[in-house]
A and B are shown apart, each in its own frame.
Chain A
Amino acid sequence: MNHLNEEQLVLHYYGEESGAPDAAGHLEACGACRQAYASLERLLRAADDLPAPEPAEDFGARIWQRIAPRLAARRTFAAAPVWRWAAAAGVLLAALLAGQFYYPRPRPVPTVGAADPQAGERVLRLAVSDYLDRSQMVLAEVANADPQRSLDIFFEQKRAADLVVESRLYRQTALRTGDAAVAGLLDDLDRVMLEITHGPARLTPAELARLRDRLDREGILFKIRVLGADMRAEQAAAARASSAERKS
């Protein structure tokens, strides 16, 4: 009689009988397999004890409250009536005439201190965190735009071009300090920003859909948020540590 192998025992435990159709019958007849199965059961029951927090009853409602404004913004933007566009254009024109409209120059890339590696890392974190915020703003324009209309991205193109120039040093430094996640995300961002920079200044709905598809597929905005939150937490921890050091 052939014994059940480990894979068949696992499949039997999970009720996936395709791997061993008569596993139950075999286990009844075979003491050795029964013992092996009992050992597997103990192990997998132990795995049941891996705790997972039970979310509160209103967890779904809480998530909804957080995402609803973002869904609304997307749909409302799509449905904005013509008079609202006209009003927006009026405000823009007034701002231009008043000389209040300006395009911020690219920020000087901070030099990372070679003498004090810790200070260098802090500067890098701060700069990258700021860089991610600004990248997110550019990409959010695309992600939240009305998918049915073409989109003028002239200003986003300029900001994207500046971001590409800035990112080089951050990427190199991230690689040097072994922060592969930041380097990888900056790489991904660079590719998207280059696509925006070298693409047309007005995106057709099809081009917009392609770009948004890519952002979705690669989860770029989500990664920015996750890493951005990490870096802010690191900055806060570093600030707390440095403040405690000064006090002592």
Chain B
Amino acid sequence: MEQNDRAFVTKARSGDKDAFRTLVERHARVLFRLAFRMTGNAEDAEDVVQESFLRAWCQLDRFDERASFGTWMYRIATNCALDVVRLRKRRNQTPPAADDAGDGMAELPSMEPSPERMALSGEVRRRLAAAMNQLSETERAAFVLRHFEGLRLEEIGQVLECQPGAAKHSVFRAVQKLRRALEPIVSPLR
């Protein structure tokens, strides 16, 4: 995938829009999920994806071809999503809880009725969404990138432009805060 990306990035840099289109189609869905988890809102997430690719197109000359295009896009999308989160926070608008975020264009993941899943009530999800909204911007970004996107701490450091140690602390702080919010409900599930 990365090797392939490189070839398309090289072509896109020389103005080949079809090559860029391939990159957009290849990475858009992953970036949407990242943006959704960062902003908590499908409409914002779509705007973030769109803006991220526009920024990427303008900045392709600055992209180091030895690096991973995917990680670079994560960085751009994370920054765009943080812009949205900061604006919303400053306007005192809490993003809608993930439960309310469906807009008809997408389907929520299926909820297989395993005993553990059945035990996880809507209350857990509401608390989780609320707790995510209480995280600082960096904690939320670091946690989403580690927990949902599976990035290594070093990669998270690259995305957030900080040392891996700082990324580690952000993930850790996020887990601690989520734990405080969820432990009273999740712990009894033994």
Mark interface residues in B57-91 (1 if CB within 8 Å of A CB, else 0): 11100000000000000000001100110111111
Mark interface residues in A40-71 (1 if CB within 8 Å of B CB, else 0): 10111111111111111001110110111011
Do A64 and B83 have beta carbons less than 8 Å apart? no
* A6 at interface by CB-CB < 8 Å: yes
Query: Once bound together, how far apart are the Cα atoms of A72 and B178, in whole Å?
Result: 45
Contacts of A181 in B (CB 8 A): 86-91
Closest to A184 in B: B90
* B147 at interface by CB-CB < 8 Å: yes
Do B80 and A51 have beta carbons less than 8 Å apart? no
Closest to B29 in A: A55
* A133 at interface by CB-CB < 8 Å: no
* A7 at interface by CB-CB < 8 Å: yes
Do B186 and A53 have beta carbons less than 8 Å apart? no
Q: Which of A40, A42, A180, A212 contacts B58 (CB 8 A)?
A: A212
Do B90 and A180 have beta carbons less than 8 Å apart? yes
Query: Once bound together, how far apart are the Cα atoms of A174 and B110, in whole Å?
Result: 43
Tell me the dominant secondary structure on chain B's binding face: helix
Contacts of B116 in A (CB 8 A): 45
Contacts of B105 in A (CB 8 A): 53, 55-56
Do B25 and A61 have beta carbons less than 8 Å apart? yes
Q: Which of B55, B106, B187 contacts A42 (CB 8 A)?
A: B187
Query: Once bound together, how far apart are the Cα atoms of A199 and B98, in whole Å?
Result: 46
Mark interface residues in B154-188 (1 if CB within 8 Å of A CB, else 0): 00000000000000100110011011001100110
* A11 at interface by CB-CB < 8 Å: yes
* B17 at interface by CB-CB < 8 Å: yes
Do B132 and A50 have beta carbons less than 8 Å apart? yes
Do A53 and B106 have beta carbons less than 8 Å apart? yes
Query: Once bound together, how far apart are the Cα atoms of A47 and B174, in whole Å?
Result: 11
Contacts of B8 in A (CB 8 A): none
Kindly identify, within residues 230 to 244 of chain A, every residue whose CB is under 8 Å from any CB belonging to chain B. Answer: 230
Do B132 and A10 have beta carbons less than 8 Å apart? no
A214 to chain B, nearest CB (A): 13
Query: Once bound together, how far apart are the Cα atoms of A68 and B139, in whole Å?
Result: 34
Contacts of A16 in B (CB 8 A): 152-153, 168
Kindly identify, within residues 201 to 231 of chain A, every residue whose CB is under 8 Å from any CB belonging to chain B. Answer: 212, 216, 219, 222-223, 225-227, 229-230
Mark interface residues in B38-59 (1 if CB within 8 Å of A CB, else 0): 0000101011011101110111
Contacts of B124 in A (CB 8 A): 46, 49
A76 to chain B, nearest CB (A): 11
Do A55 and B33 have beta carbons less than 8 Å apart? yes
* A81 at interface by CB-CB < 8 Å: no
Kindly identify, within residues 10 to 35 of chain B, every residue whose CB is under 8 Å from any CB belonging to chain A. Answer: 15, 17, 20-21, 24-29, 32-33
Contacts of B109 in A (CB 8 A): 51-52, 54
Query: Once bound together, how far apart are the Cα atoms of A179 and B101, in whole Å?
Result: 24
Mark interface residues in B120-138 (1 if CB within 8 Å of A CB, else 0): 1000110011001000000
Do A53 and B42 have beta carbons less than 8 Å apart? yes
Do A46 and B186 have beta carbons less than 8 Å apart? yes
* B99 at interface by CB-CB < 8 Å: yes
Contacts of B26 in A (CB 8 A): 60
Contacts of B59 in A (CB 8 A): 216
Contacts A14-B171, A43-B186, A46-B128; A54 near B24 (Cβ below 8 A): no
Do B25 and A67 have beta carbons less than 8 Å apart? no
Query: Once bound together, how far apart are the Cα atoms of A19 and B172, in whole Å?
Result: 12
Do A63 and B106 have beta carbons less than 8 Å apart? no
A219 to chain B, nearest CB (A): 5
Could you show 10 A-B contacts with beta carbons less than 8 Å apart? A10-B172, A42-B186, A47-B178, A53-B101, A53-B103, A60-B24, A75-B17, A181-B91, A227-B87, A230-B87
Known: A64-B28, A179-B91. 12 other contacts (CB 8 A): A6-B172, A47-B182, A49-B125, A50-B148, A53-B101, A53-B102, A53-B107, A64-B24, A67-B54, A70-B54, A75-B15, A219-B83
